[in-house]
Amino acid sequence: MTGQCILCGKCMEVCPLLRATNREELAPRAKSELCRVLEASPGELSEIDAARLAGLCLGCGRCAEICPQGVDVPALVAGLRGAHPNFKSWLWKTWLTRAKQLWAPGSAAARLVPEAFHIGNLGPMLKMLAGMSGGSGLEPFAEIGRFPDTWRGERMLLFAGCTANYVQSRWLAAALKLLDGLGVEVLPGDFTCCGSGLKCAGFADEGADMAARNVAVWRAAGRPKVVTFCTSCLAGLRAYDGCFEDEAEQEKWRESQFPLSRILHHADFMISDNVPEKLGYHHPCHAGKADPDRDLLAGVLGGRLVAATDRQCCGFGGVMRLAAPGATDPVNRECWDALQGAEVVLTGCSACLAQLSATAPEGVKVGHWLEIMK
Ligand code: SF4
Ligand code: SF4
């Protein structure tokens, strides 16, 4: 549900695309107005205009978070993408719905393409694909000496997400090891993709099908807690709507979503000598203001955490990588400016990680925080 813009300008202060580009036409309220005008007849947009529209929003959700009127600009843009018959997002759809078959070979193949072939829009896309697997990964340096008893014996489902399931199996192995140490019984559950990437790209029906399937898995397991370790998946799961028996069930679903970092907060960590001296943390936009990954890492790493992003988006932008990769560059540069000085950058979002791995300065490594766990 999205309200009526009153032109208060609050969203202008938080939009990373506006801040990095200084282009007023990319501001959330301009998009809100544009979507309102086009809502009645989206089919009249030309193919070129539709492709431009896809480049207008990173889908970071910062404007929606702050808007007093409940205007959800990324949802408006996604709706328009979905309604537009000329929008060429079939490639994105294929990529998202066939993750199992395409992601691992796609990422491996992209790493083999020589720099000389990184021409035009293809270059950023190939780098993003290669970055998904994170190369050889980070060298682990953190270990839990004593696990808290808080969750011992609790039965939970694990929502690993497409990247961990199909490309980054080491994250899945690390998460299972931690849950085992915590004494959590991981229930079997055949979750599918969270569907948020499809929703953002304009495929509302496909996203809704995935949501309904995931909620059915949770229901069949007795509505237990659901552990996640990807910030974007968590945000996508929490935003499910329209697939519940009633409001009480929807509320129960939201309360059941648990980031793995949150249940590790009372664990005692030991750091080994191979720890890098200068670490950075990227705060994903979809984490919102409260970010349990950041809180966990601040406690574990202390003074070694020398740089962190706060309002700086990585510039991934989902479908923007295909439609307007150049528009994300200034946003991405601002992000790396904030991370200056870090030798290793950690994050908890698979999409941010793909983007940051693809754009990291020479000598800087990027990884999911799970990769530092021994
Ligand atoms: S914060 Fe909301 S109401 Fe205010 S200008 Fe932005 S979209 Fe409009
Ligand atoms: S979702 Fe992010 S990039 Fe898009 S208009 Fe809102 S703040 Fe700007």
What is the tens place of the pLDDT at every residue in 31-75? 887 777 776 665 666 666 665 666 678 888 999 999 999 999 988
Helix (H) or strand (E) holding 219: helix 204-220
> DSSP assignment of 20-61, as one string?
HH--GGGSHHHHHHHHHHHHT-GGGS-HHHHHHHHTT-----
pLDDT of residue 88: 47
CATH of domain 146-263: 3.40.50
Q: Does ligand 2 lie within 6 Å of residue 17's CB atom? A: yes
In the sheet that holds 185-187, the strands lie side by side as 185-187, 155-159, 225-228, 257-259
Q: Does ligand 1 lie within 6 Å of residue 14's CB atom? A: no
| Highest mean pLDDT pick, 192-196, 307-311, 334-338 | 334-338
pLDDT of residue 323: 62
Q: Cα separation of 56 and 62, whole Å?
A: 14
Q: Cα separation of 233 and 179, whole Å?
A: 19
Residue 204: pLDDT band by 50, 70, 90 thresholds? confident
Summarised one tens digit per residue, pLDDT across range 285-317 is 999 888 999 999 999 999 999 999 987 899 887
Would you list the domain boundaries of the chain?
10-83, 146-263
Distance 61 CA to ligand 1 centre (A): 13
Q: Cα separation of 35 and 132, whole Å?
A: 32
The larger pLDDT score, comparing residue 167 to residue 324, is at 167
Q: Which ligand is nearest to the CA of 69?
A: 1
pLDDT of residue 367: 95
Distance 5 CA to ligand 1 centre (A): 5
Q: Which ligand is nearest to the CA of 53?
A: 2
Q: Which residues 6+ apart lie within 8 Å of 12 measured at CB? A: 18, 27, 28, 29
Summarised one tens digit per residue, pLDDT across range 217-231 is 999 999 999 999 999
Quote the tokens at residue 372: 């530092």
Summarised one tens digit per residue, pLDDT across range 6-29 is 889 999 999 998 888 888 878 888
Q: Cα separation of 357 and 314, whole Å?
A: 10
pLDDT of residue 338: 96
44, with CB counted inside 10 A (0-12, 13-18, 19+), is exposed
Rounded to 5°, the CA angle 174-178-179 comes to: 115
Distance 32 CA to ligand 1 centre (A): 8
Summarised one tens digit per residue, pLDDT across range 84-98 is 655 545 555 566 666
Which candidate, 181, 86, 85, places its Cα nearest to that of 142? 181
198, with CB counted inside 10 A (0-12, 13-18, 19+), is buried
At residue 231, what is the residue type? Answer: T
For ligand 1, mutation pick of 1, 29, 56, 66 (most atoms within 8 Å of CB) = 29
Quote the tokens at residue 37: 């005008």
pTM over 0.75: yes
pLDDT of residue 316: 80
Q: Cα separation of 98 and 311, whole Å?
A: 32
Mean pLDDT, rounded, of the chain:
85
Rounded to 5°, the CA angle 40-41-47 comes to: 145
Q: C-alpha 103: how far from its chain's center?
A: 16
Q: Which ligand is nearest to the CA of 68?
A: 1
Contact (Cβ atoms closer than 8 angstroms) between residue 326 and residue 291: no
Using CA atoms, how far residue 226 sits from 33, 154, 306, in Å, is 38, 11, 32
Distance 11 CA to ligand 2 centre (A): 8
Distance 327 CA to ligand 2 centre (A): 13
Q: What percent of the chain has pLDDT over 70?
A: 78
Contact (Cβ atoms closer than 8 angstroms) between residue 187 and residue 217: no
Q: Tokens 């249940």 belong to which residue?
A: 263
pLDDT of residue 101: 63
Q: Tokens 């979905």 belong to which residue?
A: 82
For ligand 2, mutation pick of 22, 58, 286, 314 (most atoms within 8 Å of CB) = 58
Distance 289 CA to ligand 1 centre (A): 19
Does pLDDT of 235 surpass 80? yes
Residue owning the nearest CA to atom 8 of ligand 1 = 5
Q: Ligand 1: which atom is nearest the Cα of residue 6?
A: 3
Please state the φ and ψ torsions of residue 146, each to the nearest 5 degrees.
-140, 125
Please state the φ and ψ torsions of residue 142, each to the nearest 5 degrees.
-120, 140
Residue owning the nearest CA to atom 6 of ligand 2 = 63
Which candidate, 185, 118, 136, places its Cα nearest to that of 156? 185
Q: Cα separation of 304 and 279, whole Å?
A: 6
Q: Does ligand 2 lie within 6 Å of residue 29's CB atom? A: no
pLDDT of residue 286: 92
